[in-house]
Amino acid sequence: MSVTRERIQGETAAAAMCITRDEISYPANLREIPLPPERLWVRGRVEADDTLAIAIVGAREATQYGIGCAERLAADLAARGITIISGLARGIDSAARM
C-alpha cells in the first residue's frame, strides 16, 4: 500500500470526508483561484461560503515547541469560528488538525 493511500485511509478513519469541486459544499473562495484542488479531505463542518479561514502549514520535522504553538493557535482560532486549513503532512500540518 502506498504512503498516500495509507495517509488517506488514516484521515478517513479519523472522521474525514472527501468533497469535490462539483459539490455544493466545496468552498466558494477556492473556486475563484486559478487551479483549485480537485478534492478536499475535511473534518468538521464545511460551509461553502466560509470567508474566515486561515491556513496553518509548516515543517514536517517540527520541534515540540512548534507543534505546541500550532496546536494552541489552531484551537484558539477554531474556538472563535475561524476555519483552519492544513495539509496532510506530519509535523505542523498534523498539529493544526488536532
Sign of CA dihedral 80, 95, 19, 30: positive
Tens-place pLDDT, residues 50-94:
778 888 999 999 999 999 999 999 999 999 988 888 877 889 988
- The arithmetic mean of pLDDT across residues 27-45, rounded, is 85
Distance CA 34, CA 15 (A): 29
Distance CA 26, CA 44 (A): 13
Distance CA 82, CA 61 (A): 26
- pTM score of the predicted model: 0.66
